[in-house]
Amino acid sequence: MSTIRERVWMYGAVCGAYHTPHYKLPGVNTMDCAAACRKYGLTKAVMDVCVKGPVYPFDTESEKLSFLDELVWTIIPSGSVVRNEEAFFDMEEVIRQIQKFPNVKGIFCDDFQIRRRTLCSPEKLQVLKDNVLAASPRPIDMWLVVYATDVFTERPTPNHILDYTTIPDTISFWSWHPFHLKVLKENLHFAMNKFRGKKVNLGIYLWDFSAGAPLDDKLMEYQLELAHEMLSDGTIHGVTICASCIMGLGIKAEKIFANWLEKHGEEELRITENVEVKTVGDNERL
């Protein structure tokens, strides 16, 4: 058995990572991933790699997060990072983290949109995964970011996201545009039917990054209510809260999350395998 708190991942980033003119975040971020995890009693995190860092070597961040039960390192970094694009991105550095830190148990493929897929065919992504597994002293889960817009509004292209359904162990599902949250349950069911047999981790933003504005309170409450429902019935495996670098800024969505975690965090979850997910038609989602 595990609790809801034990199924919540913190999406970690270096301090100030998202304080950009476009995102229009208030205040000054001084809380790193380790501090955010301790604040909320979380034992799992995904560590972001973006333009503002971290830089090689990643040891400093891994050391700060060594108290966690599970750390997932970003191996294909944020879409704004362009280093090593033709040579498996940050594979060598992340493999070194896996070999050095026993709690690194996953790799995270971020912003896997059209440009990234042009560089990384399904065959190449499988080679990346195989290289990591061959070098690792333990099993490693590959996470793949899937956006609602990737699955539902993108015209078919070479290396469409649905060409990758057999490769990841976990899909990390995100709704970049808040209007997608109105049909989040339907969209999740649709994605689960496409990525059958894969663990699903629901990504939850605390800010509307698409517009650089606070997230609507009711939408924040709804996605957390749905997370509670789907964690409780075993439909999804976990939840990731984005992000540590906007914690402590006085954002209302963080307070809503804190209240939700206080209310539900210690609830025990049953482990359910092969949950049946209904098929969702185009008229039931955006």
Q: Which two tokens stand for residue 202?
A: 């629901």
Q: How much is the average pLDDT of 104-133?
A: 95
Helix or strand holding residue 116 (H, E): helix 114-119
Residue 232 to residue 226: CA distance in whole angstroms: 10
Count Cα atoms within 13 angstroms, Cβ side, for 18: 27
- Topology of domain 2-284, CATH: TIM Barrel (3.20.20)
Domain locations along the chain: 2-284
Q: What is the DSSP letter of 33?
A: H
pTM surpassing 0.85?
yes
Helix or strand holding residue 163 (H, E): none
Residue 12 to residue 53: CA distance in whole angstroms: 11
pLDDT tens digits, one per residue of 231-274 = 999 999 999 999 999 999 999 999 999 999 999 999 999 765 54
Residue 248 to residue 251: CA distance in whole angstroms: 8
Residue 77 to residue 40: CA distance in whole angstroms: 25
